[in-house]
Amino acid sequence: MDLSRFAINQITTKNWTLGQAVDGYARAGVRGIGVWTEYADAHGASAAKLIRDAGLFVPCLCTSAWVNLTDKAAFAAALDENRRRLDLAADLGAKTLVVVPGSLATGEKDLRAARARVSDALEELLPHARAAGVALGLEPLHPMYAADRSCLSTFAQCLDLCERLGEGSGIVADVYHCWWDPEFEEGLRKAGPDKILTFHLCDWLAPTRDVYQDRGMVGDGVIDIAHYRGILDEIGYDGPFEIEIFSKLDWWTRDGDETVRVAVHRCAPFVATRPPPALA
């Protein structure tokens, strides 16, 4: 079983500490861990050593601090916090800080203004990101999140912003958020392997019982993951795959070892390194 490109985003085992997640994933043969800031902060200064000693790679740090703030002092503080998170990502060996920027400020209805603030904030953070060697990974979130969690809703929107930002930015593609998007396939092709920083796996349950925290285990929902893996192979993507599940009604209630075991079994067909096609 080839898990060399496979990571588990640690929110999938929400009830495990960073130490428990590192140990559990390594025991299962998983090669990487997507780290969340809160867990790294709770572990302390030895978080990076813990992960390195286990031989795990870190595809990303989740997530950026929200910058949907109209108060100038609060906005400046959010930028400083994001600079700290970029430094933390660099220390952990993560090549990407996942950008979830927030959206409408309290009492606001102007989505265009919120998007402009996000663009301005990312431009301000870009020099620090480049210096740290950590890319700003723009993650398009499903439109149901547009009022609060993120005003970055479509793959095309994020790709356009990446093209404006240039070096030091890229896309975090998550099938949960993008499978519905008619332009997702073309977006993957347009982005190409260099702009896709990491690829998140999970599934969309039908019906979904909770719009924020009811993602399905790979294979339990309606997303044609094999199809998207085919597109990634077509464009030559050779980056990491992560399973990332928010599941307060199911997987978060289970023993972490069971969740990891099932995740490995379900994801293995989609994450293996595949040989290049034979020459004609």
What's the pLDDT tens digit per position in 222-271?
Answer: 999 999 999 999 999 999 999 999 999 999 999 999 999 999 999 999 99
The pLDDT tens digits of the residues spanning 19-49 come to: 999 999 999 999 999 999 999 999 999 999 9
Instruction: Count the neighbouring beta carbons within 10 Å of the beta carbon of residue 33.
Output: 30
Q: How far apart are CA 125 and CA 38, in angstroms?
A: 20
Using CA atoms, how far apart are residues 104 and 230, in angstroms rounded to an integer? 36
Side-chain half-sphere CA neighbours of 91 within 13 A: 16
What dihedral angle (degrees, nearest 10) is formed by the CA atoms of 268, 273, 276, 277?
Answer: 0
Q: pLDDT for 99-152, tens place per residue? A: 999 999 989 999 999 999 999 999 999 999 999 999 999 999 999 999 999 999
| CA atoms lying within 13 Å on the CB side of residue 107 | 3
Rounded to two decimals, what is the model's pTM?
Answer: 0.96
- Do residues 176 and 135 make contact, with C-beta atoms less than 8 angstroms apart? no
Strand partners, 98: 62, 137
Q: Show the domains of the chain with their CATH numbers.
A: 6-271 (3.20.20.150)
Q: Report the alpha-carbon distance of residue 78 to residue 67 in Å, rounded.
A: 6
pLDDT confidence band for 275 (50 / 70 / 90)? low
pLDDT for res 106? 87
Distance of CA 229 to the CA centre of its chain: 17
Q: How far apart are CA 24 and CA 56, in angstroms?
A: 11
User: Looking at per-residue confidence, does 28 or 277 come out higher?
Assistant: 28
Q: Residue 172: beta bridge partners?
A: 198
Residue 87: phi and psi, rounded to 5, are -65, -40
The helix or strand, by DSSP H or E, that contains position 52, with its residue range, turns out to be helix 47-53
195-205 tens-digit pLDDT: 999 999 999 99
Helical (H) or strand (E) element with 258: helix 256-271
Instruction: Give 34-93 pLDDT, tens digit per residue.
Output: 999 999 999 999 999 999 999 999 999 999 999 989 999 999 999 999 999 999 999 999
β-strands 169-174, 96-99 pairing: unpaired
